[in-house]
């Protein structure tokens, strides 16, 4: 049972975690990027610690939830209005839990993508995985235990084969 659970974790959860880790750094997988919600500005729609998956689109509409870069910070807020200046779209955004809109308006090229999928609270795990203890606890140790169990199985099978060959020799001899 333990071995089955370990296999499920390694082969089921590990690919998902790798996908989240890759999309948190780059958009090379289908243009998808993921971000962890760090503040309560979008609650209850986007709870703190959730992971939001975004994808870039040519344009955005009112009520879309978008991730955008402002300085060194990535913000995920809702578009409440927009305007065009010199053929460039500018969006007025606001967190659902905020009383006032963000300032200044966000230009089209600041937007990293529109939110299309949310996994509540998984971001807390993703943030923990980025630490050395988190990586060791959730990825390293289960992988090492699985490898050790497989080595034990290989040893058992080799022992069986050796015993089988010895019995065959004893019968012949």
The CATH number linked to 102 is 2.10.109.10
pTM of this structure: 0.69
| Each residue's pLDDT tens digit, 142-173 | 788 888 889 999 999 999 999 888 888 888 76
Distances (CA, A) of 96 to 36, 42, 43, 153: 17, 5, 6, 54
Give percent of the chain with pLDDT exceeding 90.
47
Residue 146, domain member (yes or no):
no
pLDDT at position 110: 93
Residue 12, domain member (yes or no):
no
Residue 169, domain member (yes or no):
no
Residue 1, domain member (yes or no):
no
Residue 136, domain member (yes or no):
no
What confidence category does residue 113 fall into, taking pLDDT thresholds of 50, 70 and 90? very high
| Each residue's pLDDT tens digit, 45-80 | 999 989 999 999 988 999 999 999 988 889 999 999
Q: How many domains does the chain have?
A: 1
Arithmetic mean of pLDDT, 25-43: 89
Residue 118, domain member (yes or no):
yes
Residue 163, domain member (yes or no):
no
Q: How far is CA 156 from the centre of its chain?
A: 38
What confidence category does residue 92 fall into, taking pLDDT thresholds of 50, 70 and 90? very high
Range of the domain at 84: 23-130
Pairing type for strands 73-85 and 88-94 reads antiparallel
Helices 122-129, 14-23: axis angle to 10 degrees equals 80
């Amino acid at each position: 049972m333990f071995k089955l659970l370990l296999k499920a974790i390694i082969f089921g959860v590990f690919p998902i975690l790798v996908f989240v880790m890759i999309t948190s750094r780059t958009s090379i997988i289908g243009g998808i990027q993921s971000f962890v919600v760090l503040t309560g500005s979008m609650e209850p729609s986007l709870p703190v610690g959730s992971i939001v998956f975004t994808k870039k689109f040519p344009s955005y509409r009112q009520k879309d939830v978008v991730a955008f870069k402002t300085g060194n910070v990535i913000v995920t807020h809702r578009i409440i209005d927009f305007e065009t200046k010199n053929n460039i779209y500018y969006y007025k955004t606001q967190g659902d839990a905020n009383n006032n809109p963000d300032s200044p308006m966000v230009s089209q090229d600041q937007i990293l993508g529109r939110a299309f999928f949310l996994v509540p609270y998984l971001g807390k795990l993703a943030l923990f995985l980025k630490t050395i203890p988190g990586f060791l606890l959730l990825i390293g140790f289960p992988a090492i235990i699985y490898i050790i169990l497989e080595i034990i199985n290989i040893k058992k099978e080799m022992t069986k084969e050796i015993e089988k060959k010895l019995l065959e020799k004893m019968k012949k001899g």
